[in-house]
Amino acid sequence: MDWHELPSAPVRGSCLGWRDDIPEGGGREVAFGEGKDAFRVLLLRRGEKVWGYLNVCPHFSIPLNYEPQKFLTFDGEALMCAHHTAFFRFEDGQCFDGPCEGARLTPVEITVAATGEIRIA
């Protein structure tokens, strides 16, 4: 899936916030647009490292969280889909356990400045 073509997809350079806004070992969602056409970016953080993915489970194409800004993460290593217990690695979005094992989250290219500001790459 080419996320650039999705409705409400942000342009290169769009600000996603700050590294310190993401809980250590956890996740945070940033949305562009509203409703079903909103473009939802999931940011995962471990230490200084941040990864960006579409907040869409490849199993059912639904958000990975059940409640706003509540992501089920384990030891800053894995994210679990709140709807059907698929587990994904932070560093590559690979599903390593659950109903979509072998599938991947769709990466969203980001940059993190020395100041901690996160932007779409």
For position 75, which CATH number holds? 2.102.10.10
Helices (H), 13-117: none
User: What integer best gives the mean pLDDT of the chain?
Assistant: 95
Structure tokens at 30: 């940033």
- Pairing state between β 49-54 and 87-89: unpaired
- Domain with 10 in it: 3-120
Q: What is the pLDDT of residue 114?
A: 97
Q: How many domains does the chain have?
A: 1
pLDDT at 65: 96
* Predicted local confidence at residue 45, as pLDDT: 98
pLDDT of residue 7: 87
Position 1 scores a pLDDT of 67
Per-residue pLDDT of the chain (121 residues; tens, 9 = 90+): 689 999 899 999 999 999 999 999 999 999 999 988 899 999 999 999 999 999 999 998 899 999 999 999 999 999 999 998 999 999 999 999 999 999 999 999 999 999 999 999 9
Cβ–Cβ under 8 Å, residues 108 and 120: yes
Beta-carbon contacts of residue 111 (< 8 Å; ≥ 6 apart): 118, 119, 121
Whose CA is closest to 53, among 65, 36, 41?
Answer: 41
pTM, 2 dp: 0.96
